[in-house]
Amino acid sequence: MLKEDQDTNSIPSVENFANHNGAANSLGTRAGQAKINTLFQQFKSHFFNELIDDQAMPGETCQKIEHWLSQHTLDELKLLNQAAKDHFLYEGITFTVYGESEGIERTIPYDLIPRVIEKKQWNKVSLGCAQRVRALNLFLHDIYHQQDILKANIVPELQVLTHEAYQPHMYAHDLKGKIYSQISGIDIIRDRHGEFYVLEDNLRTPSGVSYMLESRKISQKLMPELFQQNNILGIEQYPHLLKEILAENAYVDNPFIVVLTPGRYNSAYYEHSFLAREMDVPLVTSRDLFVENDNVYVKTIRGRQRVDVIYRRVDDAYLDPLCFKPDSTLGVPGLMSAYLQHNVVIANAPGTGVADDKSIYPYVDKMIHFYLGEQAILKNVPTYQCREIEDLNYVLSHLPELVVKEAQGSGGYGMLIGPQASSLQIEEFSDKIIAAPHLYIAQPTLDLSVCPTLTDFGVAERHIDLRPFVLSSPYRTEIVPGGLTRVAMQAGSLVVNSSQGGGVKDTWVVDNLHS
């Protein structure tokens, strides 16, 4: 978030970098500078390298990227990455790490070497994510209505109805098209064999799409000739699709849409303002909205304007002080009453958090079969639920081999990565699990796939994941061909979250048939 007193003229834009230093393909190798000598064929780790090990990927794609890198010195590539960082800072693309004593905003690290997915592989990811979100929306409708899946003992009733994200206010409340999660983020990983797995579902207020879009802009500007050499499918239509999807979920034609943000001090405020700007809709806080006669209005310079759709980036507990936390200043008094009267749409719906809890995640394959009569296209990572005594005993006796997560955790916090933990850390975490086993799940340590990444010492392998964004309305499901690729910038790290030092890459979905 750009400070008002910042000297913006002193920060070079990506365009200025190109103008003053030449386009990327004209930088050339200069004497006295170390040339990139860590070429792709020298990678010998046992991890699945997405660029060189994927049999679906044509060899020329890898060769084009490798050739482009070999034409530049390490210093030149670092300058390009620095230009991206300056662009992020200039545009205010920052995030805040809560609890940091410095209280500073950070730019997310960007790596210019793209993550490439062949279109046929992408089609599997896209179909699997769409299938998964359809089932999760039906699950949410069911648990707030007939509760058939609970009666069938497929998902434990107590686990759902006592869940902290379960909202009794939503019981028997019908939504248009049974769509609870209009915007979903599905985190995908690949194992050492290149198989795709779903790591977790994000259905509350999934973030990161602004990084996906900005990474694409920077990628096109920093390496235009390489971008043009490959037939890369576009993602720039996402804001337009998002606005259309939100409108299709409304109860009226030509709805008035707003983006509700907690305010400029929220860690994802840039994304809130970015999406509002790209959709050409107002960005509002609770101070801008009010409820009268069960209708929601926004204050404007021309008077009040009725609001039909709220794309909220505020958590459930803070939405309405009359319904949830009474001391919340981030919500709008009476909002839930207007919502329950079908006078406004809240996206995503209150109560969606039940479906993206890590302790509910193990049942999604069964949901897909129960509601859709289909087998899951994308597999789940095997998961142990510490609330189950048999799983608990196994987890406690195998902590050095497992990754343990808080069921309600996010941002890479509250985790134990067993193979990288000390004996003391394992002992302390064991005590935490024993004290509250229902709060934890555990998974085997997967060999996350890697991608060539620029480091201070050359090109090296770093672990990555992928978050495609799924847009849902009563009439269609849309997924732009790409997603947020997060990369663990530290050698050996499996944690890709920006709050833990992770960075981002552009995600290229390449159509080889039309290359």
DSSP state letter for 329: S
Mean pLDDT of 213-223: 93
Strand 283-284 and strand 402-406: pairing?
unpaired
Return the pLDDT at 3.
Answer: 31
Domain range 382-444, CATH class: alpha beta
Q: Which pLDDT band holds residue 89 (cuts at 50, 70, 90)?
A: confident
Distance CA 172, CA 297 (A): 26
Instruction: Give tens-digit pLDDT for 168-203.
Output: 999 999 999 999 999 999 999 999 999 999 999 999
Return the pLDDT at 447.
Answer: 84
Where are the extended beta strands (E) located within 328-392? 345-347, 379-380, 384-385
- Determine which helix (DSSP H) or strand (DSSP E) holds 484, and give its type and residue range: strand 484-487
**What is the number of other CB atoms lying within 10 angstroms of the CB of residue 97?**
16
Return the pLDDT at 308.
Answer: 98
What number of residues does the chain have?
515
Average pLDDT, the chain: 87
Residue 491 has pLDDT above 90, yes or no: no
Q: What is the model's pTM? A: 0.88
Return the pLDDT at 445.
Answer: 84
% of the chain at pLDDT higher than 90: 67
Q: Where in the chain are all domains bearing CATH 3.30.1490.270?
A: 382-444
Mean pLDDT of 70-98: 82
Residue 410 has pLDDT above 70, yes or no: no
Instruction: Give tens-digit pLDDT for 313-327.
Output: 999 999 999 999 999
**What is the number of other CB atoms lying within 10 angstroms of the CB of residue 389?**
9
Mean pLDDT of 375-399: 94
